[in-house]
Amino acid sequence: MTAGTVWCHFVLLLLLSIASLWAAEISCRNEDGETVDWFLLYKLPKHTEGESAGLGLEYMYMDSLTHAWQLSKYLVNMTQGALGQTLKQLYETYEPKNNSIAYAIYNDEIPHSKSSNWKKGHTKGFLLLDKSQGFWGIHSVPLFPPFLEDGYAYPPSGKPYGQAAICITFKYDQFTEIDQQLLSYNPSIYNCSIPNIFQADLPNLQKLCAGSELPSVTQRHLSKLQSAHGETFLHFAKSHLFVDDIYVAWIAQELKTDLLVESWQHSGHRLPSNCSLQYHVYNINLIGTPLNSTFYSINDHSKWCVSRIYEDQWTCIGDLNRAAEQAWRSGNEHGRNAAQQTETITTIVFLAAHQLAFPFTVKRSEGLEKQEQRGLAGETKKKTQKREQENWRRKL
């Protein structure tokens, strides 16, 4: 072999190992299985207005590369879609067991389980990482994702209603911050592995995973997280000690913007739009998709918000509803009063929202105009109407 061919082989080997390293990188994945900084997924409800029922598995997809919503060519139960491609990395860790990988999946409604632990947070998500990087997903789907031994699937109960999910890729150092945030809302982790090499950086996750006693927490904590590609996200974590509507009492005032909020409003304790504080919060009533179909909030289980003024450019997505407390949580074994049982919640808010804004058009609850006009002193009715029409038409 000449020096030239040796060199050639060396370069080839180097390229091959770089390629395999690249492929092994734990990351959110797009619909082609490629690594992506973040993605959003909005599964459409089975019933949309004026159209025949779908399967309840179709979804809109957007990521840091496309920056635009597209109807996916896959169904959400298929492994080829972004959620399937991303979680594939998780299911692949089942066998063989890998002690350099940590993961946790949590949900207040656990697969195969009829009981819920009301002491845990009302929160749903998954994370997978090694000492280099990983991803964190937050979503609204009950009983999801399946246990590792069961492999990827989408629960039939998640079909009728709209659902949303976000996945963000983070470098390893951000997970110590995420570990702190998770402590605040005490997620119900049902499948996990936090090997000892992570103990120093993820102490809370390890305790949560082992089901051991946790240290006490603060009422709420706001954290600034940086995605792998350097986009900034704000994460609002509230513990059970913060007994208030997170959207009104915290997020809107913190972001200094009026918010339009979409959330599950079936509970008897649904909260009306609220203009009491400086920045107002309005419930969304009707949602228009980029496909020009519409659906009512009553058919949607997703939880997200956008700033009322488009230019403010805030979008949030999370796992909390605007409900004083969910009725079925009252009277639990501790006999605490209703106010103390307010849900534990997490919500992610995008800082760099210029690329992230939901291009879904939204219409607020009917009959709120009066309330809003009172809140908008000085603005004429005509102006309000005009702005309202623009709001409705504009692509959020």
Q: How far is CA 394 from CA 61, 303, 334, 363, 386, in A?
A: 19, 20, 48, 11, 12
Q: Cβ 138 to ligand NAG, closest distance in Å?
A: 20
Q: Which is nearer to ligand NAG, 6 or 268 (by Cβ)?
A: 268
With CB under 6 A as the contact rule, the residue among 107, 184, 274, 315 that binds ligand NAG is 274
With CB under 6 A as the contact rule, the residue among 110, 143, 148, 396 that binds ligand NAG is 148
Site for ligand NAG contains 276 (CB under 6 A):
yes
Q: What track of x and - describes contact with ligand NAG for positions 80 through 99 (by CB under 6 A)?
A: --------------x-x-x-
- Find out whether 348 and 39 touch, Cβ atoms under 8 Å: no
Q: What is the C-alpha to C-alpha distance for residues 328 and 235, in angstroms, rounded to an integer?
A: 27
- Find out whether 359 and 396 touch, Cβ atoms under 8 Å: yes
Site for ligand NAG contains 249 (CB under 6 A):
yes
> Which of the residues 139, 240, 280, 301 is marked catalytic?
301
Residues from 47 through 66 that contact ligand NAG (CB under 6 A): 55, 57
Q: Is 235 a catalytic residue?
A: no
Q: Cβ 108 to ligand NAG, closest distance in Å?
A: 17
Site for ligand NAG contains 291 (CB under 6 A):
yes
CB within 8 Å of 377: residues ≥ 6 apart: none
Cβ burial, residue 256 (10 Å; 0-12/13-18/19+): exposed
Q: What is the distance, to the nearest Å, from the Cα of residue 343 to the centroid of all Cα atoms in its chain?
A: 16
- Cα angle 248, 393, 290 (rounded to 5 degrees) comes to 95
Q: Binding segment for ligand NAG among 2-10, 145-153, 202-210, 217-225 (CB under 6 A)? A: 145-153
Q: Cβ 355 to ligand NAG, closest distance in Å?
A: 21
Residue where the block lists tokens 């509230």: 238
- Cα angle 226, 103, 161 (rounded to 5 degrees) comes to 80
Site for ligand NAG contains 342 (CB under 6 A):
no
Q: What track of x and - describes contact with ligand NAG for positions 95 through 124 (by CB under 6 A)?
A: -x-x-xx-----------------------
**332-355 in b/e burial notation, b at 16+ Cβ within 10 A?**
eeeeeeeeebbbbbbbbbbbbbeb
Residues making contact with ligand NAG (CB under 6 A)? 24, 55, 57, 75, 77-78, 94, 96, 98, 100-101, 130, 147-149, 191, 193, 244-245, 248-249, 274, 276-277, 291-292
The residues carrying an active-site annotation are 301
